[in-house]
Amino acid sequence: MKKMITLNVNDREYDLVIPVNRTLTQVLRENLKLTGTKQGCGVGDCGSCTILMDGRPVNSCLVLAAEAEGHKIETIEGLSEEGQLHPLQQAFVEHGSIQCGFCSPGMILSAKALLDKNPSPGETEIREAISGNLCRCTGYQKIVDAIQSVAKKV
Amino acid sequence: MLLPKFDYHAPTTIDEACSMLGHYGAKAKILAGGTDLLVHMKKRLLSPEQIISLNKIEGLKEAFSQNGTGLVLGPLSTAAYLADSRLIQERISVLAQGASRLGSPLIRNRATVGGNLITARPASDLAPPLLVLSAKVTLKGPRGERTLPLEDFFLGPGQTAVQADEILTKILIPNIQGISAGAYIKLGTRKALEISLVNTACFLELAQDGSIKLARVALGAVAPIPLLTPSVSKILAGVKPKNMDDPVFREAARAAAQESKPITDHRGSADYRRYMVEILTWRTLKNAYSQLMEKV
Ligand SMILES: Cc1cc2nc3c(=O)[nH]c(=O)nc-3n(C[C@H](O)[C@H](O)[C@H](O)COP(=O)(O)OP(=O)(O)OC[C@H]3O[C@@H](n4cnc5c(N)ncnc54)[C@H](O)[C@@H]3O)c2cc1C
Ligand code: FES
Ligand code: FES
C-alpha cells in the first residue's frame, strides 16, 4: 500500500508517494537524500537516527513516515544557517567531540532540544538528555564538554 | 531492519477505529507510539496485515481531572508528558517518577501509557505506579464499553484481559481522600535504556488520626505480571508507625519479598532479586512515610 504524504522537513515542504511501511529514517535518507540522519540498530537502542519532531527528540527508526505528516521535522541538515555551523556543531568540532561521527547528528539534536528548553543545564541534565544516544568512540566526556560550552553560564 | 508490508489506516475518531478493528479482527493491530509494536514487527515477531493508528484522533494525549471521580489519563499520554505534567507531579507523583525512568528521553517522547499497559511487560515502569494508585482501565469494542481494575488486567507476559477487537480508551485514577504520598524505585545495572532488575512502587494514605488508612505496594520484573502485594496492605492497614524507621516497614518489606516470584536470568538471580524486593520496598515505604510526615 502506498500513500501520498506531505512532510515538513527543515521548514521545507515535500510531497511524496511512499509505501506505508517506510520509517521516517528511510524516507529522510532514501527519498530526501538527507543522509545526516543515521540508521544504527533500527530498534530504539542507539539514538543515531534522532530527529526533532515538533521540537522533541525521537528515534526516527520507530516512527512511520506516514505518521510524521502534520509535524515539524528537523534534521541535522537544518541546523547550519547560510553556511555557518550552529554553535553546537562548532563546539563539537572544537572540543574533539566527533571521532567516527556516527553518533554526532543525534547527539547534537538531543543537545539542541535540551538547550531550547533549558538554556543553562547542569552536567547531570546534559548527561540525562543524551542518555538515549550511544557513542562508541569518545567516552562522552568531550561531548558533555562541548554542550556545556554552549550552555549559558548562570 | 525493515518493516514487513501492511495496510495503514488513520481514523479520526475512536468509534471509527473501533469499527475498523471490529472489521479486521486479529489481522489488525493498533498503533500508538510504536516503540513496542514496530520493534516486534521489525524482528518479525508480529506481522499484522492492517495497522490502525490512533494518532490522528484528537483528545487522547492528555490527563485531566474529572469532577468527583478522579483523574483521567488519555491512552496516548506519553511517558515524557506524564513525567513533566504539573497535574501528575502534584496529584500522583509516583506515576511521574515511574514515567521519568522509562527507556530514554527519545523513547519517552513516543512511548504511550496505553501501549505500555497493553504490551504487559513484567518489567514495565508504568504498571506498578498505576497499580498502587488503584487505576482502572476502560476498554471499548463491538460489544460496548467495559471498565476493569488494573489488577485484573494483566494475565501473563504480553497477555492481558483485552480482546483483539478492543481499544483501551481511558485510564481512571480514583480520587484520593486523605493525605497521601508515593514513591518509586527502579533498580537496573545502568541508568538509561535499562530493563529493570526489580522495580517497586508504593502508595500510602493517612486517616484523620494519623494511622495508615491504605497501603499498596506493587513490584515489577519479579513475577510473570506486574504484581500487587496484598500482604503488605494487610500488615500496614490501621498501623500508626512511630516514625519512618518503625520496624513495621521492614516487616512489610519482608512480606513483599515473600510474595514475589522472581526467576534467575542473565540480569540477576532469583535470590538476589527477592532480597532486592525487600530492600527496595523498605526504602519506598520509608520514603513515602517521610513525605507524609512533612505534609501533616
Ligand atoms: C529502546 C527501548 C527501551 C524501552 N525501555 C522501557 C522501559 O525502561 N520501561 C518500560 O516500561 N518500557 C520500555 N520500553 C517499551 C515501550 O517503550 C513501552 O512499553 C511503551 O510504553 C509502549 O507504548 P507505545 O505507545 O510505544 O506502544 P505501541 O508499540 O504503539 O503498542 C504496543 C502494543 O499495544 C497495543 N496498543 C497500543 N495502544 C493501544 C490502545 N489504546 N488500545 C489497544 N491496543 C493498544 C498495540 O497494538 C501493541 O500491541 C522500551 C522500548 C524500547 C524500544
Ligand atoms: S537506529 Fe534508531 S535508535 Fe538505533
Ligand atoms: S564519535 Fe563514533 S560513535 Fe560517537
Segment B214-227 shows an average pLDDT of 97
pLDDT digits (tens, 9 = 90+) for A55-76: 999 999 999 999 999 999 999 9
Could you identify the atom of ligand 1 that is nearest to the CA of residue B186?
8
Res B190 pLDDT > 80: no
Per-residue confidence band for B219, with pLDDT thresholds at 50, 70 and 90: very high
Handedness of CA B227, B228, B229, B232 (dihedral sign): positive
Among residues A78, A106, A127, the one where a domain terminates is A78
DSSP lists the bridge partners of residue A7 as A14
B162 within 8 A of B168, measured Cβ to Cβ? yes
CA of B74 to the centre of ligand 1 (A): 15
B63-174 sits in which CATH class? alpha beta
- Among A19, A58, A64, the residue with its CB nearest the CB of B106 is A58
Q: Residue ranges of the alpha helices (H) in B25-170? A: 37-42, 79-84, 86-91, 93-100, 105-108, 113-119, 127-132
DSSP lists the bridge partners of residue B156 as B159
Phi, psi of B182 (to 5 degrees): -140, 170
CA of A21 to the centre of ligand 3 (A): 29
Please tell me which residue, B252 or B208, carries the higher pLDDT value: B252
Phi, psi of B225 (to 5 degrees): -130, 160
Res A153 pLDDT > 70: no
- Among B33, B109, B191, the residue with its CB nearest the CB of A131 is B191
pLDDT digits (tens, 9 = 90+) for B139-169: 999 889 999 999 999 999 999 999 999 999 9
Per-residue confidence band for B193, with pLDDT thresholds at 50, 70 and 90: confident
Q: How many residues does chain B have?
A: 296
**Which residues on chain B are in Cβ contact (under 8 Å) with A21?**
2-6, 8
pLDDT confidence of residue B267: 84
One domain, residues A93 and A74: no
pLDDT confidence of residue B142: 87
| ipTM at complex level | 0.97
What residue's CA is closest to ligand 1, atom 51? B35
Please give the Cα distance from A138 to A100 (Å, whole number): 9
Segment B206-216 shows an average pLDDT of 95
C-alpha cell at A81: 544557517
Segment B219-237 shows an average pLDDT of 97
One domain, residues A56 and A38: yes
Instruction: Find the range with the poorest average confidence among A5-14, A43-52, B261-270.
Output: B261-270
Res B284 pLDDT > 60: yes
* B217 reaches A (C-beta below 8 A): no
**Which residues on chain B are in Cβ contact (under 8 Å) with A3?**
8
Could you identify the atom of ligand 2 that is nearest to the CA of residue A61?
2
Q: Does the Cβ of B61 fall within 6 Å of ligand 1?
A: no
Please give the Cα distance from B58 to A21 (Å, whole number): 23
| A60, closest residue in chain B (CA to CA) | B106
Segment A131-151 shows an average pLDDT of 97
One domain, residues A106 and A136: yes
**Which residues on chain A are in Cβ contact (under 8 Å) with B193?**
45, 131-132
| Domains of chain B by residue range | 7-53, 63-174, 181-295
Q: Which CATH number characterizes residue A101's domain?
A: 1.10.150.120
One domain, residues A61 and A9: yes
pLDDT confidence of residue B266: 86
Which is nearest to B38 in space by CA: B111, B98, B99? B111
B167 within 8 A of B18, measured Cβ to Cβ? yes
Helix (H, G, I), strand (E, B) or coil at A12: strand
pTM of the model: 0.97
pLDDT confidence of residue B194: 78
Residues spanned by the domain of A74 = 2-78
pLDDT confidence of residue A154: 55
One domain, residues A62 and A93: no
pLDDT confidence of residue B191: 75
Instruction: Kindly determine whether residue A132 and residue B193, on different chains, have CB atoms separated by under 8 Å.
Output: yes
- State which of A61, A75, A135 you would mutate to test the pocket of ligand 2, scoring each by most atoms of that ligand within 8 A of its C-beta: A61
B181-295 sits in which CATH class? alpha beta
Where is B279: in which H helix or E strand? helix B270-295
* A105 reaches B (C-beta below 8 A): no
Instruction: Kindly determine whether residue B107 and residue A132, on different chains, have CB atoms separated by under 8 Å.
Output: yes
One domain, residues A55 and A15: yes
Return the C-alpha torsion angle B269, B270, B272, B276, nearest 10: 130
Please give the Cα distance from B145 to B234 (Å, whole number): 33
One domain, residues A67 and A12: yes
> Which of B 149-208 lie inside 8 A of A, CB atoms?
191-193
Please give the Cα distance from A131 to A147 (Å, whole number): 14
One domain, residues A6 and A68: yes
Ligand 3 lining (C-beta closer than 6 Å): A 98-103, 135-138
Please give the Cα distance from B61 to B209 (Å, whole number): 39
Among residues A56, A78, A100, the one where a domain terminates is A78
pLDDT digits (tens, 9 = 90+) for A22-57: 999 999 999 999 999 999 999 999 999 999 999 999
Instruction: Kindly determine whether residue A1 and residue B34, on different chains, have CB atoms separated by under 8 Å.
Output: no
Cα-based distances in Å from A6 to A72, A85, B126, B144: 11, 28, 34, 36
Q: Which amino acid is at B86?
A: R
Q: Which CATH number characterizes residue A55's domain?
A: 3.10.20.30
User: Widest CA span of chain B, in angstroms?
Assistant: 62
E-assigned strand segments in A38-99: 50-53, 56-59, 72-74
Query: What domain count does chain A have?
Result: 2
Among residues A78, A96, A114, the one where a domain terminates is A78
One domain, residues A38 and A105: no
Res B295 pLDDT > 90: no
Q: Are strands A50-53 and A72-74 parallel, antiparallel or unpaired?
A: antiparallel
Phi, psi of B105 (to 5 degrees): -55, -35
Handedness of CA B28, B30, B35, B36 (dihedral sign): negative
Q: Please provide the average confidence, as pLDDT, over all residues in chain A.
A: 97
Please give the Cα distance from B190 to A140 (Å, whole number): 15
**Which residues on chain A are in Cβ contact (under 8 Å) with B109?**
53, 56-58
One domain, residues A109 and A127: yes
B7-53 sits in which CATH class? alpha beta
Sheet holding B7-9, edge to edge: B7-9, B50-53, B28-31
Could you identify the atom of ligand 2 that is nearest to the CA of residue A44?
3
